[in-house]
Structure 1
């Protein structure tokens, strides 16, 4: 397998060994596509919403923190919620201080989770990019270890460990559908499979970072919004994910908010899986006809996060 010199199969193997015992090996649920109204042989649902901290982000954050000595000032991160919760979870487990800069759009459920983990929470502006700028300034002042939500090699390699688990548990799917914000998750998955599986990217219509970068031929800033913005609200695709996506990602699909919410609620009604909107893009794209797999093809979906207010799932 070949990939970015920063993230490749050996670095993902190393990450898996490093984080073993600190994160969960999450289940892979296999069911007929027809069970969720999809015309494909099987759906493989990687239940990463059951991960420590409620999202895949724990993998990369533990990997980065365990890969080096931690300064006395602890760690600092900017996050729409999930990365911050993962950093706070890892920091508490490893006994270091944690400061999280969040944008105003961060949901109440994610703010409450951060507070419960003992992190110092600072609202750093209207959008993720504003929170990141405030975070970078703070890191310069304190000397804390900077944790990036998606654009550090250890973080991307950690995310790739879930693809290695899928392969170990079930072999190779025909394709895998991955939600994209800044690209840490899809970067890790693309680096692991490196052309052996068709990888397709999914973005909300209101947060098209990878789609816009492909149209421009380079990473560009975009406005972000919509139902999944607190998880997929990066303004620009990451510098690590960008070349990996250029080399290994076959297609990018934009998914409407209404389809995302419908898929999220379907996962709750049919399977009692409580996931946030960002985790429902794969099913939404399939049901909306944006992705049309072969009838005999298994399709892997990563249910990437569960940091959602459960009350919102029973209101429809």
Structure 2
């Protein structure tokens, strides 16, 4: 079985072909780049996706050495995400599946991050930290659903990094630039609000304080302190969740999982709890079509459920803990 996966939740329009053994046969992407100091404008990003969609789809099929006649299934990211961007992906998926008479499977984007991460790392029953521009959640699987053991109370860790970076005039996404600047710091820590409530975290106060500090302190030291404080909050919440759940595996997925310092902190937390640490490979940490294709395969093989072409949907708000997972 070959599945074409289409991803379009935010700045990335991606297509990939994956087989039923989890082999990624192709991975093509086009990324919308916002002007420096600006965030993702949904209308502009969706326009980018419209213009890029044909070329990305063609490239994905070419890399896989396949045509649509070889594709057995089409999966698409149905949410959560930016409405205009989601709708572009849904329209492309509907068009391709309808014209070529292929089953169409809607996929929860967050679930895609987890399932591809598990496939690529070999984690079987992990506590998961999902960290990206759209998510900051600590999750464990129980009775056919991913259950939330902690999450952000306001902005996500990805939003913290991006909003701080944009305030400094950086181009989005800003995480890589902040990580580089943090590595250039002498280790001078600047006090920032540390807010952990149970297993939940709050970053909005830290954002305000960091922006204010940037006007009087070295940028490298502010970036260092921003990372150290926010990542320590996440590591504390994860370690508490590991202790509570007794999980012997911990996996980090999502775009922010590419940050080496965050991974280092989490590894130390896992060592203290005698848990194995898994991190999604950097190449697939960000949004991509492979996560959608693989999750669609898992779903369809187990349930044989597909949506009728006219009923294909896209929803900006689709919480992961509302999704039934039949294949685990």
Return the structure number with greater strand share.
2
The higher-RCO structure (CA 8 Å, 6+ apart) is 2
Give the TM-score normalised by the residue count of structure 1. Answer: 0.31
Q: Report the structure number with the largest CA radius of gyration.
A: 2
TM-score, normalised via structure 2 length: 0.30
